[in-house]
């Protein structure tokens, strides 16, 4: 198993019929969640922001194809009904069922379909490779590949699946993530660890700068492995989330390349993150990476509009990693060798490192190039 089914006590199932998918995951334990920062929140988000306060989940039911967003009172009732369907299929208390949706905004949920799909797969809940893959596939929309991650710590593991491809921006982009650990972790620590990990990973992925109405990440700790060092757990959780975040960026709608931007020397970590996110979200940087055009001025220009104070002539920028890194600007001096810089752009992953020379804050953000295919995918989505 390569993700959630590697965690003791976690069973999964999934079905995908055209664009309509349903995933069921059963795992009882202490739980925490993080949600979209968009003012316009989908019905399942509204429901779960309330229900997650119990600090426990018994399982999750998640559908793709319809976001159940901007659907008013009826949407909230539908989300609650979906939780009840999940409770029946999973055999757990409906107040402890996590509900999540992704898909078109402004449409009502097809509850009969969800009931039928849940009935069809509840008997196949299992701890197998096939089961976790079916669940990961069920929640995909424009994603091209399923996303799994598993981090094995000292005596415990953290695993997760997620989906996410478009409408991806800081503060949870249309992204559903279901994370599990067998570590026994107290709820307040679990909640804080999830928030920090999400902030450093999922919230540093930018595909198109649009923030979804439906984002959610749930983390459930089954406790099967007993108590573990909180610090070790936080590291493993962050590593698991980082793996998923990078998979989302690499599978961004229409993407051909992953862009990784490392910002160092910022006043604070949050400043570094703001600059890194702005660069990775810049359409001009994204198109330059697509065209293998070493137009580094766009990177500097994007940094300049991130709202962080630094001296442009104290900043250094390079492309590539480690020994192979090619300097572009060194403390404001233009030192670029365009041919060598261009050579760093031919792979599946392009890394920019920007040292602002203004402090100790560091952060990394991930994104992808902007291609004609993104336009095609999003030009005809509803119909």
For the annotated catalytic residues, the residue numbers are 174
Residues counted in the chain? 383
Q: DSSP states of 58-70 as a string?
A: EEEEEEEEE---S
Residue 261 in tokens: 């931007």
Helix (H) or strand (E) holding 375: helix 372-379
Cβ atoms of 58 and 97 closer than 8 Å: yes
Strands (E), the chain: 11-17, 20-35, 56-66, 97-104, 147-152, 157-164, 175-184, 205-206, 216-227, 258-266, 316-319, 326-330, 333-334, 349-355, 361-368
Name residues contacting its own copies, limited to 150-169 (CB under 8 A).
166-167, 169
Name residues contacting its own copies, limited to 261-300 (CB under 8 A).
281-284, 287-288, 290-291, 293-298, 300
Nearer to its own copies, 178 or 310 (CB): 310
Check residue 335 for interaction with its own copies (CB under 8 A).
Answer: no
Check residue 370 for interaction with its own copies (CB under 8 A).
Answer: yes
Nearer to its own copies, 74 or 227 (CB): 74
Nearer to its own copies, 54 or 305 (CB): 305
Torsion of CA 277, 280, 285, 290, to 10 degrees: -170
Q: Which of 156, 202, 352, 374 binds its own copies (CB under 8 A)?
A: 374
Give me the 86-125 binding string for its own copies, x by CB under 8 A, dash otherwise: ------------------xxx-------------------
Name residues contacting its own copies, limited to 30-89 (CB under 8 A).
37-41, 67, 69-72
Cβ atoms of 206 and 169 closer than 8 Å: yes
Check residue 324 for interaction with its own copies (CB under 8 A).
Answer: no
The residues that touch its own copies, with contacts defined as CB under 8 A, are: 37-41, 67, 69-72, 104-106, 166-167, 169, 208-213, 281-284, 287-288, 290-291, 293-298, 300-305, 308-310, 312-313, 329, 332-334, 336, 338, 370-372, 374-383
């Amino acid at each position: 198993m390569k993700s959630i089914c590697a965690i003791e006590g976690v069973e999964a199932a999934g079905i995908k019929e055209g664009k309509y998918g349903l995933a069921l995951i059963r795992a009882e334990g202490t739980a925490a969640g993080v949600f979209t920062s968009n003012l316009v929140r989908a019905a399942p988000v509204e429901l779960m922001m309330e229900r997650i306060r119990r600090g426990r989940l018994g399982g999750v039911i998640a559908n793709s194809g319809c976001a159940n967003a901007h659907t008013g009172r009826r949407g909230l009732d539908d989300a609650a009904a979906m939780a009840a369907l999940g409770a029946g299929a999973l055999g757990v208390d409906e107040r402890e069922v996590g509900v999540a949706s992704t898909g078109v905004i402004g449409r009502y949920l097809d509850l009969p379909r969800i009931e039928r799909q849940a009935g069809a797969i509840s008997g196949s809940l299992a701890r197998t490779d096939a089961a976790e893959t079916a669940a990961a596939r069920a929640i995909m929309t424009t994603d091209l590949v399923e996303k799994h991650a598993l981090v094995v710590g000292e005596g415990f593991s953290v695993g997760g699946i997620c989906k996410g491809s478009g409408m991806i921006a800081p503060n949870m982009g249309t992204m559903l993530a279901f994370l599990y650990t067998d570590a026994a972790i107290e709820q307040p620590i679990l909640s804080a660890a999830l928030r920090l990990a999400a902030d450093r990973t999922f919230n540093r992925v930018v595909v198109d700068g649009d923030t979804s109405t439906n984002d959610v990440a749930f983390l459930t700790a089954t406790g099967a492995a007993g108590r573990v060092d909180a610090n070790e757990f936080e590291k493993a959780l962050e590593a698991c989330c980082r793996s998923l975040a990078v998979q989302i960026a690499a599978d961004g709608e229409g993407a051909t390349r992953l862009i990784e931007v490392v910002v160092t020397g910022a006043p604070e970590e949050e400043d570094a993150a703001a600059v890194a996110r702005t660069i990775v979200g810049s359409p001009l940087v994204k198109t330059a990476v697509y065209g293998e055009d070493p137009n580094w001025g766009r990177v500097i220009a994007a940094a300049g509009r991130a709202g962080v104070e630094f001296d442009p002539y104290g900043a250094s920028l390079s492309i590539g990693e480690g020994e192979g890194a090619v300097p572009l600007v060194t403390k404001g001096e233009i030192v670029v060798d365009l041919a060598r810089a261009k050579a760093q752009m031919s792979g599946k992953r392009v890394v920019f490192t920007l040292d602002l020379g203004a402090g100790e804050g560091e952060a990394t953000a991930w994104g992808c190039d902007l291609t004609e295919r993104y336009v095609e995918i999003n030009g005809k989505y509803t119909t």
